[in-house]
């Protein structure tokens, strides 16, 4: 509250005037009853202070976005003008038309930015995936009819599980990327209870579904998918992020049979402090030492993974492991099968952890199961930590010398692990044209009956019922925690399937 102060001490102003060395213009005389107000927050309630701070942050964000957008628009125009200036064969009239087309596109984008998107703008076709913090739906935008995949995340769970940094990292990776190897994000928005990511729909399903269906791949097919994964992981690293959760579930297949990386919920930027709490919770649950919050979350989880007594020579039990593997993908515990040992140690790690995961996937493609899979997550963890004792190639599976050599140089200590350049030059990839691989025919191309065909997703195993959306407490603080989450992609012409 502002406190009025009448007739401030005269000697204060006179002492200031006496200390000045440069002459000042005479100040107009103040009336005798002139009231001075002192700026102070004293007297305001804590709630008022919190609301004021919230308003300040929202205003700062609003003007930052406005200024950044203006800079981006100017940069795009300058870039186009520079490019047109170098085109001697293009007439001035055509150059002017291209500049006008850019202006129209910018105007369309500005209108799109001003449009407030919400859940009502999308119609659910089918639920195609569920996870610990939300679900993925196939949706259709009501005004355009375009098809998207909509990922929903529960704000309450994000806050409880301390996933704010990861949620923001996922949004930033998708927003910053225009790589053909990363699932494209078109919009992101939020309501009081949920975060929404509107992404391109990849109708070919994921690599996990293919591995469950086909058991193993030939070395030629494996070479194709692993080579594309190398380029996808490299693209993420070039953006300045580590994925940290590379596994077959997160390798999606587009309509032409090529792969894209998805699910960056555990990704992190190189400059951020690594958050290993997720893996600590995984180990706690594996050891049975759950916190009350984790126990409550497990109680809410409808999918429980049965214990499997796995003998690697028994194909029936391996098939049982594969069936439970899908259930584990939907559970809160997740699977540690593809996680590098340095992540568990929690003493810092770098992008090389993603190459370990790729080695585990390559092993599974050729052998039929990950190298350290066991009858419990804790046992899998123990094998990963003692990887040198447990990385064994089965006698009944013939692998080439090149494939074994590459796997053993990916599944190894972090300081000995191959870099991306060594991986690309490895003899296993002899004949791979890294620049054109996305243009060649894929070994498997989805046969689609319609733009909403979900036959490559296990939708029969997923509960299609809508989740109950209950209002939760502390809405204002949740909104502030996710400030700046909203996103709309500039390239408005290519939206949707």
Residue numbers in the known binding site for ATP are 151
Inter-residue contact 147 to 140 (CB < 8 Å) = yes
* 421 is a catalytic site residue: no
H/E element, 363: helix 352-367
- Pairwise CA distance, residues 252 & 202, whole Å: 7
Inter-residue contact 281 to 247 (CB < 8 Å) = no
Inter-residue contact 427 to 421 (CB < 8 Å) = no
- Pairwise CA distance, residues 295 & 204, whole Å: 35
> Which residues make beta-bridge pairs with 150?
137, 198
- Pairwise CA distance, residues 222 & 224, whole Å: 5
- Pairwise CA distance, residues 106 & 99, whole Å: 11
- Pairwise CA distance, residues 292 & 184, whole Å: 37
| Burial letters 94-127, b for 16+ CB under 10 A, else e | ebeeeeeebeeebeebeeeeeeebeeebbeebeb
Inter-residue contact 103 to 76 (CB < 8 Å) = no
H/E element, 384: helix 377-385
Q: Which of 172, 206, 245, 354 is catalytic?
A: 245
Neighbours of 467 (CB within 10 A): 14
- Pairwise CA distance, residues 366 & 220, whole Å: 10
Return the DSSP state at 369: S
Alpha helices in 386-464 (DSSP H): 387-390, 401-408, 420-424
> Which residues make beta-bridge pairs with 187?
198, 488
Question: Residue 334: exposed, middle, or buried by beta-carbon count in 10 A (0-12, 13-18, 19+)?
Answer: buried
Region of 354 please: left (phi>0), alpha (psi -120 to 50) or beta. alpha
Length of the chain: 497
- Pairwise CA distance, residues 418 & 226, whole Å: 14
Q: Give Cβ neighbours of residue 376 (< 8 Å, ≥ 6 apart).
A: 286, 307
Sequence ranges of the binding site: 151
Neighbours of 243 (CB within 10 A): 26
Active site residues: 245
């Amino acid at each position: 509250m502002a406190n009025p102060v009448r007739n401030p001490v005269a000697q204060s102003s006179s002492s200031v005037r006496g200390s000045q060395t440069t002459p000042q213009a005479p100040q107009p005389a103040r009336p005798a009853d002139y009231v001075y107000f002192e700026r102070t927050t004293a007297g305001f309630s804590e709630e008022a202070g919190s609301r004021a701070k919230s308003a300040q942050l929202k205003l700062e964000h609003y003007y930052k976005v406005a200024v950044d957008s203006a800079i981006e628009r100017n940069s795009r125009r300058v870039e186009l003008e520079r490019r047109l200036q170098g085109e001697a064969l293009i007439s001035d009239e055509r150059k002017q038309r291209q500049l006008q087309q850019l202006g129209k596109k910018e105007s369309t984008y500005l209108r799109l930015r001003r449009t407030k998107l919400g859940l009502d703008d999308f119609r659910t076709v089918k639920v195609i995936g569920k996870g610990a913090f939300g679900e993925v739906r196939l949706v259709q935008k009501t005004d355009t009819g375009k098809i998207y995949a909509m990922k929903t995340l529960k704000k309450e769970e994000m806050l409880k599980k301390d996933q704010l940094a990861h949620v923001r990292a996922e949004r930033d990776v998708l927003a910053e990327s225009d790589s053909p190897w990363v699932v494209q994000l078109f919009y992101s928005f939020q309501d009081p209870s949920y975060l929404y990511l509107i992404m391109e729909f990849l109708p070919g399903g994921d690599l996990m579904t293919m591995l469950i269906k086909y058991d193993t791949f030939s070395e030629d097919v494996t070479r194709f998918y692993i080579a594309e994964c190398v380029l996808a992981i490299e693209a993420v690293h070039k953006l300045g992020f580590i994925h940290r959760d590379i596994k077959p579930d997160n390798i999606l297949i587009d309509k032409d049979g090529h792969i894209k990386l998805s699910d960056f919920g555990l990704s992190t930027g190189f400059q951020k402090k690594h958050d290993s709490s997720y893996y600590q919770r995984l180990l706690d649950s594996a050891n049975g030492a759950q916190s009350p919050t984790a126990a409550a979350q497990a109680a809410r989880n409808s999918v429980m993974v049965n214990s499997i007594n796995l003998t690697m020579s028994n194909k029936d039990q391996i098939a049982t492991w594969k069936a439970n593997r899908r259930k584990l993908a939907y559970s809160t515990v997740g699977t540690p099968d593809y996680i590098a040992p340095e992540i568990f140690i929690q003493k810092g790690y770098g992008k090389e952890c993603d190459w370990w995961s790729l080695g585990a996937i390559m092993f599974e493609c050729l052998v039929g199961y990950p190298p350290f899979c066991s009858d419990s997550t804790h046992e899998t963890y123990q094998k990963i930590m003692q990887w040198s004792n447990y990385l064994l190639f089965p006698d009944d599976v013939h692998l080439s010398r090149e494939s074994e050599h590459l796997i053993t140089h990916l599944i190894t200590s972090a300081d000995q692990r191959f870099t991306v350049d060594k991986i690309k030059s490895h003899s296993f990839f002899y004949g791979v044209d890294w620049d054109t691989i996305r243009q060649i025919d894929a070994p498997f191309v989805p046969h689609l009956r319609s733009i909403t065909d979900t036959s490559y997703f296990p939708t029969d195993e997923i509960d299609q019922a809508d989740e109950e959306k209950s209002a939760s407490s502390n809405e204002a603080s949740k909104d502030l925690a996710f400030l700046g989450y909203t996103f709309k992609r500039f390239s408005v012409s290519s939206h949707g399937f």
